[in-house]
Structure 1
């Protein structure tokens, strides 16, 4: 959805624009327009849109439909107040809609479909009632094929992280892949089982840790911490932490703090699962063997990067037409960060590399949205997945639970530094190439 005109100080459309919009939708009932916008907001929230972008998208769409909308978004709720522009400028809301929602997950294919439906309705190419029906259809559950793809992506992502970021051994890679498949299965099952969903992160970490220790004890020695970290990579809330800091920096304080709390809760559940798995094995006298195996050869980095890019394209549920774009974004984000660290000079390598990666991806996402007329999230969200410091947060909490306060606090400081660097890069990228579309 393109942004509304900003030619007036209040960011509302000019008088000719209002007249044109009002005449275009004059025969459309107010309730029909409200129902369409409410369903659009529900879908954008469900597919992982952050609070600033969701509020901007709904407010802009409402203006084009001859209404004003005051939107309040949080990870678990939406409140929208509507007023018809044709009723004057009193600013009194005529309808207020309150929705209690579950936190959304990124689904790039359906996000793009929702964006396209909204654009077609606003342009008059699609009847509003038909647009509402199409938006409702987007809420259908995943097919068996889509679920299988998600499960496979978890295994591929876990294996590729072992080679790309942790540089461990072949047995670690294979074990992480198997654990990733198990965790992917648990995640898919939890989508339709609310009781399982509440504890799915802790259960996944527990099962993954026990499996890794059993393999290390009875089959072949493993680097346990690397295997467990890689197998949990998709569950780590690095993206949520980054979004939370970005929302806080844009003064969406309630949404940002709520999302931050959810991310911390996820970290605690994952850490509890790993600690519980370790203690459970120790209670039965099962301990991993500590033996250093030869690391993977250096040439595996780039094949692993391609596999990781494909895995995240599937995990983010991108449409097939966008797979190459998503994969290119993942590769570019990783290479930009690596290159930035190499040229940082006297600057800290990791924070500067993350800043540069975030800056390039944010600017490129806005360019893509401007000229491809598709949401910039297609590039922005998967592009930063290898930059977000979820694993650093996991390690920080793990060290604290192991009573290593000094190392835990040091790692926590690194987490904050990387988060600030990434968010700063994203904000400067938006400043360099201003977004023309709200998504």
Structure 2
């Protein structure tokens, strides 16, 4: 009996060893040699750690590209599935956790964390990143190739010279200005003040320590110049002149994305984005308040000149488009599609506003996701390259800054408070419209072992 028990024990241990060997067989190194079970297990854990770190790095770049946290989680899930792994993630705008492997209950596997650091990506960097994501959704690329592509995207130089970038900022300022108030004198004021802020941006962006103070300094200088010289000389109300030159600081996209995050249940992400956007508005309003006290204002005197024709908002759209191409380094091949998207968005928004009011015009922003997706399918231009510039046509950041500055400078005036309420309504209407539009083209998640969709395979072949 004792010998039978020993044999039974040996058989059980043998079965256990064979089961472990079968489970770890996929993790063995390729080649003519073999590895021991502890070495194979360590190789598998190292692969999981590498994949978790890679997904964190990829997610961090997507957040810098202005992607929603829900979409970042979807990308992480799909890419991990392409590598044959299960991934769970927790994503907020300032960082993300990714766990790779483990069971369906989320236990086990390897966990990694990455903070989101650095400035927002330019449009050419966004295009390169989204192209890489589509390739990773289509096939399991080598880890080193992905890291090299991400590093090349971060180090990618600006496509245009500093002079062209400066000119692009002037175009952005004039474009936003003539969409709000268009006279010959005002256009001159927009161009001069935009040139001054453009110079500050060129030097300030190269000094990381000065990025926090740059909005306050720029707002203070623009306001002081508008009150003391630009307004009286050009016979324009100074309040109309000092908002458009601050276009690069306006957090319109952050306000809208924050509202979208809240509406989709991502409370932490939504609150974080809205808090960051409101902080920027407060910094700009603080600069405006300092500017009003920096130099004594002079009376405007004569009434403003007559407004230009009804064509000026459309000219402003074109100026915004060319400004984006130069200042945010958009690829030249997307210039025509970007301008067409901006004009289409303006047409839909203005038509909806005339039909049912400004709030419905803001809700008509729901045309953005389907339009960007349509352009992506036909030109293989990432939808973010079209989607982000179109946000500026909705200008919730400009409206919000005007309201906050009136509220602070005016000592809590009723007009400023009404403007703040109107800004909140506008942001919510834009967010709901974008959610409805995005729901019309939702991409299904990939499953473990699922072959790549035909459109992704085709895109991968074209990229290669």
1:124-145 CA-partner distances (Å, limit 9, x unpaired): 4854312211111211164483
Counterpart-to-counterpart distance in 1, 2:436 and 2:393: 19
Choose the corresponding residue for 2:237, options 205, 208, 223. Answer: 223
Match of 1:44 in 2: 62
1:369 and 1:437 in contact (8 A); partners too: no
Q: Distance in 1 between matches of 2:336 and 2:140?
A: 29
Relative to structure 1, the CA distance from residue 26 to residue 41 in structure 2 (aligned partners, 3 Å threshold; closer, same or farther) is: farther
Distance in 2, matches of 1:218 and 1:89, equals 68
Say which of 409, 430, 435 aligns to 1:427.
435
Q: What displacement does 1:371 show? A: 4.7
Aligned counterpart, 1:350: 358
User: Which residue pairs with 1:57 in the alignment?
Assistant: 75
Deviation, 1:215, is: 2.7
Partner of residue 325, structure 1: 337
Distance 1:67 1:230 in 2: 48
Identify the residue that residue 19 of structure 1 maps to in structure 2: none
Pick closer, same or farther for the CA change 1:83–1:377 going to 2, 3 Å.
same
* Aligned: 1:412 with 2:417: no
Match of 1:289 in 2: 300
2: CA distance between counterparts of 1:30 and 1:146? 42
Give the whole-Å Cα distance in 2 for the aligned partners of 1:437 and 1:335. Answer: 34
Structure 1 residue 209 displacement after superposition: 1.3
Separation of aligned partners in 2, 1:67 and 1:25: 17
Counterpart mapping for 1:224-263 below 5 A: 224-263=238-277
For the residues of structure 2 that align with 1:290 and 1:103, how far apart are their CA atoms?
Answer: 46
Native 8 Å contact 1:157 1:312 kept in 2: yes
**In structure 1, what is the Cα distance between the partners aligned to 2:219 and 2:188?**
17
Q: Which moved more, 1:47-56 or 1:93-102?
A: 93-102
* Contiguous gaps of at least 5 residues in structure 1: 1-21
Map 1:12-411 → 2, pairs under 5 A: 29-83=47-101, 89=104, 91-102=106-117, 105-124=120-139, 127-140=142-155, 142-143=157-158, 145=160, 147-167=162-182, 169-216=183-230, 219-282=233-296, 286-298=297-309, 299-344=311-356, 349-356=357-364, 358-401=365-408, 402-411=410-419
User: Deviations 1:363-415 (Å, cap 9, x if unpaired)?
Assistant: 21233344544432122221221114112211221222112432122111211
* Separation in structure 1 between the aligned mates of residue 104 and residue 94 of structure 2, nearest angstrom: 31
8 A Cα contact 1:222 1:288, kept in partner: no
C-alpha distance 135-269 of structure 1, shift in aligned 2 (>3 A): same
The alpha-carbon distance between structure 1 residues 436 and 83, as it changes in their structure 2 partners (threshold 3 A), is closer
Matched pairs, number: 405
User: For the structure 1 residues 56 and 150, does the alpha-carbon distance in structure 2 shift closer, same or farther, using more than 3 Å as the test?
Assistant: farther
Query: What secondary structure is seen at the aligned counterpart in 2 of 1:311?
Result: helix
Q: Whole-Å Cα distance in 2 between the matches of residues 266 and 25 of structure 1? A: 53
Give TM-score scaled by structure 1 length: 0.84
How far, CA to CA, are the matches of 2:363 and 2:241 in structure 1? 28
Give the direction of change, closer, same or farther, for the CA distance of 1:432–1:24 in structure 2 (3 Å limit).
farther
Contact 1:109–1:317 (CA under 8 A) maintained in structure 2: yes
Deviates more, 1:149-158 or 1:232-241: 149-158
Contact 2:220 2:288 (C-alpha < 8 Å) held by counterparts: yes
- Structure 1, 48-57 or 28-37: larger mean CA deviation: 28-37
| Matched residue, 1:7 | none
Kept after mapping to 1: 8 A contact 2:185/2:305: no
**Residue 77 of structure 2 aligns to a residue in which SS?**
helix
Separation (CA, whole Å) in 2 of partners of 1:332 and 1:101: 33
Aligned with 1:138: secondary structure? helix
User: Which protein, 1 or 2, shows the higher relative CO under an 8 Å CA cutoff with sep ≥ 6?
Assistant: 2
